[in-house]
Amino acid sequence: MNGESGLKILVVEDDLELRTFYQLALLEQGHAVNAVANGAEALEVISPEIDLVVTDLTMPIMPGQKLIAELRAKPEYREVPVLVVTEHPGDLKPELRTGRTVMLRKPFELEDFMRWVDAAARLAQARN
């Protein structure tokens, strides 16, 4: 990790350009980042040390909706903050819209994205 305040963040995004953008922006802020292309890959690499999951909803193999449901079904991930970045926020099922799941509509400004990451950092600190 690059800094004491840095988070361990899992980015789940099928669009390579956007996935790289998230990685670079988060690394620049001192966070440790692991990035994968879909929910199935995320479930393979996630660990209880993850402080934040950033995910798209619409992805091949396993969409974000299923990923969030899978995470919330496991006690060790029930409280992990999830930032959903999507063009269609209304697509997220109401039962998955918990206090630890926040939405950011695409397109967005980098400043808005980082503000949500900072909010997740506060949630992660409260969790630890």
pLDDT tens figures, 82-103: 999 988 777 777 777 776 888 8
The answer to whether 78 and 72 have CB atoms below 8 angstroms apart is: yes
What was the pLDDT predicted at 97? Answer: 75
Answer whether residue 118 shows pLDDT above 50: yes
Number of C-beta neighbours around residue 18 at 10 A? 15
What was the pLDDT predicted at 127? Answer: 64
What average pLDDT is seen over the chain?
86
What was the pLDDT predicted at 95? Answer: 75
36 or 4, higher pLDDT: 36
E strands, the chain, in order: 8-12, 32-36, 52-55, 82-86, 101-105
* CA pair distance 74, 2, nearest whole angstrom: 29
Separation in Å, CA 22 to CA 17, 35, 36, 111: 9, 9, 11, 12
**Average pLDDT, stretch 15-43?**
95
Domain 8-108 indexed as CATH 3.30.70.1060 = no
What was the pLDDT predicted at 99? Answer: 66
Tell me the two tokens of residue 13.
């995004």
pTM for the whole thing?
A: 0.89
Q: What are the extents of the domains in the chain? A: 8-108
